Amino acid sequence: MPGSLRIAIVGGGIGGLTAALALRARSLDVTVFEQAEVLREIGAGVSIHPNAARLLKRIGLDDQLRKIGSPIGGITLRTSQGEAITTPSGPATPAFSRDGGQGYNVHRADFLNLLFAALPKGAVNLGHRCIQLKEDGDRVHLSFANGAAAAADVMIGADGIRSVVQREIGLQSRPTSEGIMAYRGLIPAERLAWANDLKDPVLWLGSGRSFLLYPVAGGQLINMVAFVPTDTESEESWSAPGDLKALAAEYAGWDKPVQDTINSLDETFRWGIYDRAPLPYWSTSRITLMGDAAHPMVPHVGQGAGQSIEDAITLAVLLEGCTAGEVAGRLKLYEALRLARTSRVQALARAAGKLYRSEHENPSQKAERLREWMAQGKWVFEHDAEEAARNALANSWP
By annotation, the residues acting in catalysis are 214
- The Cα–Cα gap between 316 and 125 comes to 20
Collapsing DSSP to helix, strand or coil, 308 comes out as helix
Quick check: 59 and 152 in contact, CB under 8 A?
no
Quick check: 81 and 255 in contact, CB under 8 A?
yes
Eight-class DSSP state of 89: T
| Strands 154-157, 287-289: pairing kind | parallel
What DSSP line would sit under 318-370, residue for residue?
HHTT--GGGHHHHHHHHHHHHHHHHHHHHHHHHHHHHHHT--S--HHHHHHHH
- The Cα–Cα gap between 35 and 33 comes to 7
Which amino acid belongs to residue 366? K
Nearest to 319 by CA among 155, 204, 174, 168: 155
- The Cα–Cα gap between 252 and 301 comes to 26
The set of residues, in sequence order, having a beta carbon less than 8 Å from that of 313 and lying 6+ positions away, is: 18, 22, 55, 58, 59, 385, 386, 389
Please give, one letter per residue, the 3-state secondary structure of 175-225: CEEEEEEEEEEEEEHHHCCCHHHCCCCEEEEECCEEEEEEEEHHHCEEEEE
